[in-house]
Structure 1
Amino acid sequence: MTAIIYGSPCESMRKAVKWFEKNNISYIERNILANPLNVQELQKILELTSEGTDEIIATRSKIYKELNLDFDTLTLLELLNLIEKHPTLLRNPIVVDNKRMMVGYNEDDIRKFIPRKVRKRQWLQLQMESLNC
């Protein structure tokens, strides 16, 4: 399963890419400034959220402040069209696969993208090491 790392060039994006490379996990990097997400892609990301649009909107971004909108009054389609037009409204990076999502870079949370077999093998290895102490 290939993960997709959506974002614009920044330190968090670089950390996520580096982590996937270090762990030999297949990924696709997508610069949302050069290739913005469309409404359908944004809907698929929203399906993976637990907090809806609040989870993916960058409320501290320059464009969020410049737009000076009451985002709570927008319909979902209006918001998704606005994000399509202004991709920097999205938090950075957003990492997804078919089942999981992570917003921002978090060293602990990103581990959920390690395949289950690999995580189990790592856990067993740690158990064996602790028994040998």
Structure 2
Amino acid sequence: MITYYAYPKCTTCRKAKKWLEQNNIEYNEINIAETPPSDGELRGIYEKSGLELKKFFNTSGLKYRELGLKDKLKEMPEDQQLKLLSSDGMLIKRPLAWDGEKATLGFKEEEFENTWKREQ
């Protein structure tokens, strides 16, 4: 089953959720703003995903810009970045879907097809 971190008001999250439902993929939805993943959970997702840590940041988000993270992240140690991400779910690119082995950030239909579609 997929753990699906999303923000209910996010249109991209709603599109991804609709795709999961249309493709009969089981998921457990968690409101990323109310219950962001812990820094330990994020570290596990990050390490297994093979994605760059900077891809986990919601670079178009208000909070990201308010904190001036574009320039700060380059110098920030990985541990500190993970702590920052886990401190505020709105800093995390969403939706974040994770099954214990694979992860996707954001919603691109082709990526969801390749990652989450089960062979029928």
TM-score range normalised by the length of the shorter chain: 0.7 to 0.9
Q: Which residue among 85, 94, 97 is the counterpart of 1:95?
A: 97
User: What is residue 109 of structure 1 aligned with on the other side?
Assistant: 111
**Contact kept in structure 1, 2:94 and 2:105, CA below 8 Å:** yes
Give, in whole Å, the separation in 2 of the partners of 1:34 and 1:3: 18
Alpha-carbon deviations, 1:102-132, whole Å to 9, x = none?
11111111112112x32xxxxxxxxxxxxxx
Consecutive aligned runs of 4 or more in structure 1 exceeding 4 Å deviation: none
Give, in whole Å, the separation in 1 of the partners of 2:68 and 2:108: 29
Give, in whole Å, the separation in 2 of the partners of 1:51 and 1:72: 16
Q: How many residues align?
A: 116
User: What is residue 45 of structure 2 aligned with on the other side?
Assistant: 45
User: What is residue 17 of structure 2 aligned with on the other side?
Assistant: 17
Q: Which runs of 5+ in 2 are unaligned?
A: none
Is 1:6 aligned to 2:5, yes or no?
Answer: yes
Give, in whole Å, the separation in 1 of the partners of 2:51 and 2:18: 27
Q: Partner of 2:59: helix, strand, or coil?
A: coil
Give, in whole Å, the separation in 1 of the partners of 2:48 and 2:18: 23
Alpha-carbon distance, 1:46 to partner: 0.4
**Contact kept in structure 1, 2:34 and 2:89, CA below 8 Å:** no
User: What is residue 85 of structure 1 aligned with on the other side?
Assistant: 87
Q: Partner of 2:21: helix, strand, or coil?
A: helix
Aligned alpha-carbon RMSD (Å): 1.4
Give, in whole Å, the separation in 1 of the partners of 2:103 and 2:51: 12
**Contact kept in structure 1, 2:49 and 2:101, CA below 8 Å:** no
**Contact kept in structure 2, 1:92 and 1:103, CA below 8 Å:** yes
Alpha-carbon distance, 1:57 to partner: 0.8
Are the structure 2 counterparts of residues 51 and 36 from structure 1 closer, same or farther at C-alpha, using a change threshold of 3 Å? closer
Alpha-carbon distance, 1:40 to partner: 0.9
State the identity as a percent: 28
Task: Tell me the TM-score normalized by structure 2.
Answer: 0.87
Give, in whole Å, the separation in 1 of the partners of 2:48 and 2:54: 13
Q: Which runs of 5+ in 1 are unaligned?
A: 119-133
Alpha-carbon distance, 1:5 to partner: 1.2
